[in-house]
Amino acid sequence: MPTVLITGANRGLGRGFAERFGEAGWRVIATCRDPESAGLGGEVHALDVTSDSSVQSLASALQGEPIDLLLNNAGIYGPRDYGFGSIDYDAWAEVVAVDALAPVRVAEALSENVAASDRKLMVFISSMMGSIAQTGSGDSIIYRSAKACLNASVNVLANGLKSRGIACVLFHPGWVRTDMGGPSAAIDITTSVRGMVNVIDRLTLEDSGRFINYDGFDIPW
């Protein structure tokens, strides 16, 4: 039975992933900040991805346990009602901490678990809004820059971990009807998760470093 660990599994895409992999027979290790209020069944661990001590506590609890797929899903959008001249720099730092630094922190702490598994996959949920090549807008500098930072970091991780047989891949989940995407988004959670899981099932080490849309097509950096 393969094992997947999912961050931010209490809602949205994270919850969708947990349900999908559970139905497929995987061992699902769900993580979120407050498991008691999350309403999740199965194996759930408390995890604050921005806290070194919280991440290390999880790593200690799972020491020696192989993780076939580490799915770094937790993320935030940050403020929306601002523009150049009214940027909240403290909020910017918080979004970078959650969306860019935290996934690397979790990957670093659990790299031995992934290396000990059969699949050896690390998947990071990003956004096409982090694509520098496709940025044609002058808004959302906070979220766009945080995801661009994540993309650059995972590109480096893909190069650094390839020698250990670990593949690192970024996904754009689509514009999804979640709390972050809003009710007017183009696709639902089921469509997004189903598409990404279908691609994940086919990933190999040769795919490491790719930035992929939920339907399997590559996104320019």
CATH code of 125's domain: 3.40.50.720
SS3 128: helix
Q: Are 204 and 162 within 8 A, CB to CB?
A: no
Q: What percent of the chain has pLDDT over 70?
A: 100
- In a domain, residue 221? The reply is no
- In a domain, residue 192? The reply is yes
Given a cut of 80, is residue 135 above it in pLDDT?
yes
* Number of domains into which the chain is organized: 1
- In a domain, residue 219? The reply is no
Given a cut of 80, is residue 138 above it in pLDDT?
yes
Quick one: average pLDDT of 124-137?
Answer: 93
Task: Specify the pLDDT at position 187.
Answer: 85
- In a domain, residue 129? The reply is yes
**Global pTM?**
0.95
Residue 212: pLDDT band with limits 50, 70, 90: very high
- In a domain, residue 109? The reply is yes
Task: Pick the range with the lowest mean pLDDT from 4-8, 128-132, 147-151, 182-186.
Answer: 182-186
Residue numbers of the domain that contains 98: 3-213
Which amino acid appears at position 61 of this protein?
A
Considering only CA atoms, which of 43, 31, 32, 41 is closest in space to residue 1?
A: 43
| Contact residues for 106 (Cβ-Cβ < 8 A; gap 6+) | 7, 49, 55, 70, 72
- In a domain, residue 220? The reply is no
- In a domain, residue 118? The reply is yes
- In a domain, residue 218? The reply is no
Each residue's pLDDT tens digit, 50-101 = 999 999 999 999 999 999 999 999 999 999 999 999 999 999 999 999 999 9
